[in-house]
Structure 1
Amino acid sequence: MRHQTPAATVGVVGGGQLGRMMGEAAGPLGVELVVSDPTPDCPAAPVVRDQIVADFDDYDAIHELAERADVLTFEIELADPDEMAAVSEATDTPVHPTPETLRTIQDKLVQNRALDDAGIPIPAYRQVDSVADLRAAGEALGWPLMLKAREGGYDGRGNRPVEGPEEAPQAFEAVGGAALAEELIDFERELAVMGVRGADETCAYPVTETVHEAEILRELVAPARVDDAVRERAREVAFDVLEMLDGRGVFGIELFETADGGILVNEIAPRPHNSGHWTIEGAGCSQFEQHVRAVLGWPLGSAEARSPAVTRNILGDVDQPEAASLAGTGEVLSTPSASLHWYGKREVRPLRKMGHVTATDADANRGDLLQTARELDDALTFET
């Protein structure tokens, strides 16, 4: 396929930090982004061609995106798959990943059933539509268990561990109704693989170790500190997931490593993901450039690691929302092995992801890089 620059326009539903980093990666390729997002001057706005201020499920906004773009994609699962499908048909603009894939992944119960039907290993689960269902799930799966809202949960929102039947009413109310109960996995560690589907090829980045606290991703270690057998099994499962899905793009595949070295799929994101932020400095082609290449049907870039990498998320350390002003950046900027990424959010909230720090060094071990990233993050604070 012959390419020329300026090469294409990509329409993106969502203009948060993922859209921002996608825009940063698209520019050198000659690709322009137009985003739709309900927040005026959203984080992506400074680095993309234009923003349409509209809700994620605004049909007219998605239609305008399609008319201005060669392909539609999304950086948030709040996009409406039915409207995207209708717009695609009306304008003949392709959507990647496909609306059907988005529809499958938006609902955690539908997602689990699709994985189960494909023979991909996942935790045991039950559908929960009432307090009685939750108590029955506990009897079947064992207490404690993990209760997940079927739709809309992220960064720990919508997920709640339930210790026993006495907590069922409060837990069911907290997740807001229709839910999914899963056995609580006593995992060795959490892992992730950023998988990529292109026009006629697939690839995957090295297996990454993810460290969560209170259901929020705090840091990444790439490649993961696991043995070769676990690494290979994680990659096999990730490619099985890619085979199950439809459409082009980057997919964040979150995994559990069990005590016996097994791999279970936790959740899938049909877009670039926090677990892949290390690829900006640590891989031949970042997950964001890769997503742009993939949705356009262009040849994929290298997913090979250039060096070990550790990423630490910069989280809001405030007690209540306030204007975002980050202090202590001098230490990061003066460290040759470190890179600072600021997401451009106007307001900092408790534990909100505001940016990240990545440490890379081909001659350093992952333990030293992790210590560096932690020390640099500890030096950052939000001024009041």
Structure 2
Amino acid sequence: MSITLPGPTLGVVGGGQLGRMLGEAAAPLGVDLVVLDPTPDCPAAPVAADQIVGDFDDADAIGELAARVDALTFEIELADPAVLAAASEEHGVPVHPDPGTLETIQDKLVQKEALADAGIPVPEFVAVATAEGLERVVEEFGGVMLKAREGGYDGRGNVPVETPDEAADALDAVGGAAMAEEFLDFEREVAVMGLKGADGETRTYPVTETIHREEILRESVSPVRADDAVVAEAESIARDVLAVLDGRGVYGIELFETKEGEVLVNEIAPRPHNSGHWTIEGARTSQFENHIRAVLGWPLGPTDLVAPAVTANVLGDVDERESATLRNVEEVFAAPDADLHWYGKDDVYPLRKMGHLTVTEQGAEGSAADETDRDALLSRARDLRDGLTFRDA
């Protein structure tokens, strides 16, 4: 393939922080972004060539986007796969990942069924639609994680149900039709950013440890603090998952490592993912650059670790929604081993993702990093992140 610069224009459905970081990665490649998002002046707008204001399922707006670009992708699962497919066909522009893959992943029950049918290890799960049915499942499993089949993300739409008498309220909380999944006594949660390029090429980034609280990702540690057998199994399963999915791009593959050392797939995101933000500083090619390369059919960049890295999310620490002003930033800027990423959101509210910082091991080869190094990195990232606040002292 012949590549010349300036490069093509890429259309992105969604203009949140992922769209913003896609735009930051696109500019050095000579690629312009046009984003579509319902929020005027969305976070991606300052780094995009243009924004179309429209809903993620607005056929006219997505058609306008397709008419202006050379390829389409999305950074949010709320994009409508049927509308994307129709716009792609009408305007003759490719869309990646494949809308059919997006449709499968949007419904968590359908997603799990597709994985199980492919022989990929997953936790036990069952569809539930009534409180009575959920009560029976809770009794059988001894407690479950109830997940809304559609629309949930960042822990939203997930409700732990420990006893049968919690069933009715839990089902109401997730909005009805749901999937119940067995509680796992897991050792840790891990993630693999998988990559599919042209001609069936696949790559994976090093396995990452993800640390959640209240169902929201707080920190990621790369490489994972796990033994070699678990790492090998997670990488192997991630490649099996990629084989099930159609379309080029980055896929965030979330997994559990159980107390027995078994590795099971939790969920998949058909896009760059919070678990892979560390790749901006910690990998040879970031997940965002590689997503752009893959979607455009360009050669993929190397996914090697260049330094152990810990990412800590900067979340809203306020009591109610207010204008966003992040304070104590000078402490992070003064740190020679830290990089701060601000998502450009005007308002902050409790636990909203507002940015992240990444601390990298200085002067250390990734392969030589031991667990103590990563423990220290994690502690340092937390200290720097916890010094930031949106509260007005």
Paired position in structure 2 for 1:250: 250
Paired position in structure 2 for 1:177: 176
Q: Distance in 2 between matches of 1:374 and 1:70?
A: 41
Q: Distance in 2 between matches of 1:378 and 1:362?
A: 21
Paired position in structure 2 for 1:375: 383
Q: Is 2:273 the counterpart of 1:273?
A: yes
Q: The residue matched to 1:87 in structure 2 has which SS?
A: helix
Q: Distance in 2 between matches of 1:370 and 1:167?
A: 36
Q: Distance in 2 between matches of 1:363 and 1:190?
A: 28
Task: Give the superposition deviation at 1:90.
Answer: 1.0
Paired position in structure 2 for 1:18: 18
Task: Give the superposition deviation at 1:93.
Answer: 1.1
Contact 1:143 1:162 in 2 (8 A): no
Q: Write out aligned runs for 1:68-87 (5 A).
A: 68-87=68-87
Task: Give the superposition deviation at 1:230.
Answer: 0.4
Contact 1:11 1:72 in 2 (8 A): yes
Contact 2:337 2:362 in 1 (8 A): no
Q: Distance in 2 between matches of 1:208 and 1:362?
A: 19
Task: Give the superposition deviation at 1:76.
Answer: 0.3
Contact 2:194 2:205 in 1 (8 A): yes
| Alignment gaps of 5+ in structure 1 | none
Q: Distance in 2 between matches of 1:146 and 1:169?
A: 14
Q: In the TM superposition, what whole-angstrom CA distance separates every residue of 1:56-86 from its partner, at most 9, and x where no partner exists?
A: 1111111111111111100000000011111
Contact 1:193 1:235 in 2 (8 A): yes
Q: Distance in 1 between matches of 2:196 and 2:229?
A: 24
The residue type paired with residue 328 of structure 1 is N
Paired position in structure 1 for 2:295: 295
Question: Alignment RMSD, CA only?
Answer: 0.8
Q: Distance in 1 between matches of 2:74 and 2:358?
A: 25
Q: Write out aligned runs for 1:148-167 (5 A).
A: 148-167=147-166
Q: Write out aligned runs for 1:345-364 (5 A).
A: 345-363=345-363
Structure 1 residue ranges, 4+ long, deviating more than 6 angstroms after superposition: none
Task: Give the superposition deviation at 1:238.
Answer: 0.2
Contact 1:12 1:72 in 2 (8 A): yes
Paired position in structure 2 for 1:199: 198
Contact 1:314 1:357 in 2 (8 A): yes
Q: The residue matched to 1:339 in structure 2 has which SS?
A: strand
Paired position in structure 1 for 2:139: 139
Paired position in structure 1 for 2:321: 321
Q: In the TM superposition, what whole-angstrom CA distance separates every residue of 1:303-347 from its partner, at most 9, and x where no partner exists?
A: 000000000000000000000000001010011100000000000
Paired position in structure 2 for 1:333: 333
- When structure 1 is superposed on structure 2, of 84-93 and 350-359 the one drifting more is 84-93
How many pairs does the alignment contain?
383
Task: Give the superposition deviation at 1:113.
Answer: 0.5
Q: The residue matched to 1:313 in structure 2 has which SS?
A: strand
Q: Distance in 2 between matches of 1:170 and 1:374?
A: 35
Q: In the TM superposition, what whole-angstrom CA distance separates every residue of 1:195-215 from its partner, at most 9, and x where no partner exists?
A: 000012110000000000000
Q: The residue matched to 1:327 in structure 2 has which SS?
A: coil
Q: Is 2:320 the counterpart of 1:312?
A: no
Contact 1:306 1:362 in 2 (8 A): no
Q: In the TM superposition, what whole-angstrom CA distance separates every residue of 1:126-184 from its partner, at most 9, and x where no partner exists?
A: 101111221222233x1211100000111221000001111111111111011000001
Paired position in structure 1 for 2:368: none
- When structure 1 is superposed on structure 2, of 365-374 and 235-244 the one drifting more is 365-374
Task: Give the superposition deviation at 1:383.
Answer: 3.8
